[in-house]
A and B are shown apart, each in its own frame.
Chain A
Amino acid sequence: MQFIKPGINIDFMGKRNYAFALSAILIIIGMVALFMRGGPNLGVDFSEGWAIQIKLPAPQNISDIREAITPVNLDEAEIQSIGDKDSAEYIIRAGQSENINSNTLNEDLLKALTTRFGENSEVRSADMVGPKVGEDLRNKALAAIFYSILLIAVYISGRFEQKWTISIIMAVCFIVVVLLGLSLGASMKWLILIAFITTLLFCWVLRLRYAMSAILSLIHDTLIVMGAFAITNKEISLTVVAAILTLIGYSLNDTIVTFDRIREHLRNTPGKKDLAEIANRSVNETLSRTILTSGTVFAVVVALFFLGGVVIHDFAFAMLIGTISGVYSTIFIAAPFLFLWKDKPVKKSR
């Protein structure tokens, strides 16, 4: 069986401007949504407060639930139905407050729910994260994303261009600067942002173009996923960050397969090279496997999304969006960017 015929030759490179425009539009929509919501919707892991999951014997109105939980001072909370329509499961989110007696909350809440809705009410989980831990987790998540991308940049530069030394020096410099900045009390968020931009700048200046194209496609995927979360107003939790990091690693798989092919063709093509043609040929030749490999992952993620249950739902959603975006960015972002800037002639003045 074959989905994609061997001789296929689609002019991906010729359409790259349309693709860039599409990506830009999607990212802008996502970022506008993010901006209008006042930043990412951080889950309890990264902010602070309570997230309580309850299950009632039968579906109820949100306002009735609110009334029922007033005695435990959760009436200011945000209440949301989760899962299927008839599952009667809800999530209650609230900030930390003096009025909430955290030492007896499980018991008190259960009592309030059973009095109102009957014996089969359940407090399925209750999470409380204090401000210190929230900040810790936030910084750890940012650091994890930063280090992943940096290490990947080193690996790709080393692997594809034999520029191990220069890329390692670059990475060490960045890590030292970030650690220094942190010890001086700088905010992690801005440090990481600046580090990202300078990493890209350095990749440009040092002509680590495989790394740069790969990182651009990674940032593309991350932004698309963030945008999708902003549009659907889903929460960014620890597991969602884990999903994003996995995506960063995984969406590169296709990119590397394609890069490998490009490198092979570059090596085997003597004389003057038509770079766009080589990129196009490589993308076409690897198109079948790019789609198949992501397709199998997509299949299990779909299963996870529909059957995995509420706790894992957002993780699956991030993977779902990310897998699609990963294929797209491999074909339309990583490969075209590799050849976007022409090889400068080697300076003769030496």
Chain B
Amino acid sequence: MSKNLGLRSAIFVVLTIVALVYLVPTFSKELPSWWKFLPKEKVKLGLDLQGGMQLVLEVEVAKALESELERVAEDIRDDLRSEKIKYSDIKRNSTNGIDITLLSAQDVKSFEVLKNSLYPDYDMANGEKTENGQVVSMNMTQTAIQNMKASWTEQAKETIWNRIDQFGVNEPYITTQEDNRILIQLPGISDPDRAISLIGKTAQLEFKLVDEENSVEDALKGNIPVDDEILYNTEVDQETGRTERTPYLVKKRTSLTGSYITDAKVDLDQYNAYSVSLSFNKKGARIFESITGANVNKRLAIVLDNNVYSAPNINEKISGGNAQITGRFTSDEANDLRIVLKAGALPAPVTILERRTVGPSLGQDSIDQGIKAMLLGGALVVLFMILYYGFSGLIAVVALILNTLIIMAGLAFFEATLTLPGLAGMILTIGMAVDANVLIYERIREELRVGKTLRASVEAGYEKATITIFDSNLTTLITALILFQFGTGPVKGFAVTLTIGLIANFITAVYATRVFFDYLVINLNWKKISI
């Protein structure tokens, strides 16, 4: 054994140095320039310690699927017309598909050819024969539905990422989860409400012509023309706080959407009113030009998420592809509108399933209290070990310090996040770490009582205790790993510190202390030690 002693001590000296090196970035404000080849990872603080917001959103893909089918139904209507296939009805059915009533068997045949070439994501089935013709259902295949849902979720994530990027948040974390969910973590944001409104807005911008032939008053009484719908302008008067709603009768058909927007800017006019100006790409500019050209002296409603922002009169054909949205905006509102318009619309509305906000003061309090508890807990353990085991206790304390170092360095190394439960886990491992030493020392005491020499007792004590320590730590490790698997956020942080702590503990309490003991009883040939 004593032959390896040098090697073993060297291993632990290196381990200590490596651990210290890994901790430098966390505890120093600025790294010296020569540090560039050394690790730079810091121990990251969880949202519960540094403050911030966590959101879990669900992308309402079912709604997106509905509108996708509506759109496809419109496309098919156009296709049937251009292919001269006769039909009497096209409508969305309840099985993620579209029912088309075709007039003759010949029409069914031609339709099948059309479907196979243009809509490969749909299965086709013949339904019942009615007096109006043969009903044919085309249903979206399950794979296609799954793919679409996944891509919508991904697209929503990208859009939200862009919005947050524009908004300016340090180190945001955004990821998709199963069931079309998106997890968003925004550390350190001070205005959670504003961030939510920015993220949660669908931002579906539509330009719709106002129906000038029919009156809104008539429509409100229930006489809504088939191609029209009523949308409202909702504004909150900033002085009285009252909400005003103005109805508009607009065409259902959307003339132009926000998907052609390339840029958005906030303007401030001479009356100190904010507005947002948009630039369209070439295609958008062309559409905008032709709509405005064909509808001079009519009003064009600018609709965002079914709320009419304004409905300016078209005075002349507008070319160049620029438009302006006015309204009673505050500077924040105008800026947020700019961000969502530029980042684009979400493919479907989102609902907030979970939101957690932690203010920075609570986080700091938690850190302070955690450190206090750690110091007191550590002091109690250290005091006990030294009082109870004397010099041997001191050796255990050295191992304990090394253990804590390794946990912190481990957190930095794995780029793990330190959460409040994680901090509690670290405190807990301080209490658990000396367990191994207690087991070993009690065993050594037992061997000494039987009359063995110190050297033999140390050897036997370590040998017999090691397997027990391994066994007993393994069960805690099992539960820690399961916690990691099933836990979320803070609890995951706890599982990480506990896992690193248990492994570090086994190394330090069993092997590092052994180096000390071997050195004392073999090299220095101690016959007695306080234990």
In the bound complex, CA of A68 to CA of B476 (Å)? 47
The answer to whether B354 touches A260 (Cβ under 8 A) is no
The answer to whether B196 touches A300 (Cβ under 8 A) is no
Which parts of B385-434 form the interface with A (CB within 8 Å)?
Answer: 385, 387-390, 420-421, 423-425, 427-428, 430-432, 434
State how many angstroms separate the Cβ of A2 from the closest Cβ of chain B. 8
The answer to whether B476 touches A53 (Cβ under 8 A) is no
B224 at interface, CB cutoff 8 A: no
Which chain A positions have C-beta within 8 A of B48?
311
Listed stretches A194-202, A238-246, A341-349; interface member = A238-246
With known contacts A246-B498, A260-B471, A300-B430, A312–B482 Cβ distance under 8 A:
no
The answer to whether B377 touches A304 (Cβ under 8 A) is yes
The answer to whether A289 touches B442 (Cβ under 8 A) is yes
State how many angstroms separate the Cβ of B441 from the closest Cβ of chain A. 9
The answer to whether B354 touches A316 (Cβ under 8 A) is no
With known contacts A155-B475, A239-B494, A144–B483 Cβ distance under 8 A:
yes
Which chain B positions have C-beta within 8 A of A127?
355-357
B34 at interface, CB cutoff 8 A: no
In the bound complex, CA of A306 to CA of B48 (Å)? 20
A116 at interface, CB cutoff 8 A: no
Which chain A positions have C-beta within 8 A of B480?
246, 249
Which parts of B487-516 form the interface with A (CB within 8 Å)?
Answer: 487-488, 490-491, 494-495, 498
Interface string of B343-372 (1 = CB under 8 A from A): 000000001111111110110011001101
**Which residue from B370, B449, B476 sits with its C-beta under 8 Å from A249?**
B476
The answer to whether B439 touches A257 (Cβ under 8 A) is yes
Which parts of B182-210 form the interface with A (CB within 8 Å)?
Answer: 191-193, 196-197, 200
In the bound complex, CA of A239 to CA of B489 (Å)? 10
A176 at interface, CB cutoff 8 A: no
A165 at interface, CB cutoff 8 A: no
Which chain B positions have C-beta within 8 A of A248?
479
The answer to whether B476 touches A295 (Cβ under 8 A) is no
State how many angstroms separate the Cβ of A96 from the closest Cβ of chain B. 11
A132 at interface, CB cutoff 8 A: yes
The answer to whether B373 touches A304 (Cβ under 8 A) is yes
The answer to whether A105 touches B353 (Cβ under 8 A) is no
Interface string of B455-492 (1 = CB under 8 A from A): 00000000000011001111111111011011110110
Which chain A positions have C-beta within 8 A of B439?
257, 289, 293
**Which residue from B384, B424, B435, B445 sits with its C-beta under 8 Å from A304?**
B424
B59 at interface, CB cutoff 8 A: no
Interface string of B372-387 (1 = CB under 8 A from A): 1110111011001101
State how many angstroms separate the Cβ of A178 from the closest Cβ of chain B. 14
A148 at interface, CB cutoff 8 A: yes
**Which residue from A107, A122, A128, A253 sits with its C-beta under 8 Å from B472?**
A253
A29 at interface, CB cutoff 8 A: no
Which chain B positions have C-beta within 8 A of A152?
475, 478-479
State how many angstroms separate the Cβ of A303 from the closest Cβ of chain B. 4
B56 at interface, CB cutoff 8 A: yes
With known contacts A242-B491, A292-B442, A256–B196 Cβ distance under 8 A:
no
Which chain A positions have C-beta within 8 A of B487?
140, 144, 238, 242
State how many angstroms separate the Cβ of A106 from the closest Cβ of chain B. 5
A90 at interface, CB cutoff 8 A: no
The answer to whether A289 touches B438 (Cβ under 8 A) is yes
State how many angstroms separate the Cβ of A235 from the closest Cβ of chain B. 15
**Which residue from A122, A156, A308, A319 sits with its C-beta under 8 Å from B359?**
A122
The answer to whether A148 touches B380 (Cβ under 8 A) is no
A103 at interface, CB cutoff 8 A: yes
Which chain B positions have C-beta within 8 A of A252?
472, 475-476
**Which residue from A107, A130, A137 sits with its C-beta under 8 Å from B488?**
A137
- 19 additional contacts (CB under 8 A) given A296-B434, A297-B435: A102-B196, A103-B197, A103-B200, A104-B193, A107-B193, A123-B357, A123-B359, A132-B58, A132-B353, A144-B486, A151-B478, A239-B424, A257-B472, A292-B388, A296-B385, A299-B377, A300-B380, A300-B430, A301-B431
* 23 pairs, A vs B, C-beta closer than 8 Å: A102-B196, A102-B352, A107-B191, A129-B353, A130-B351, A133-B353, A144-B483, A151-B482, A152-B475, A155-B474, A245-B479, A246-B425, A246-B494, A253-B473, A296-B438, A299-B377, A300-B380, A303-B373, A304-B373, A309-B366, A311-B362, A311-B366, A312-B420
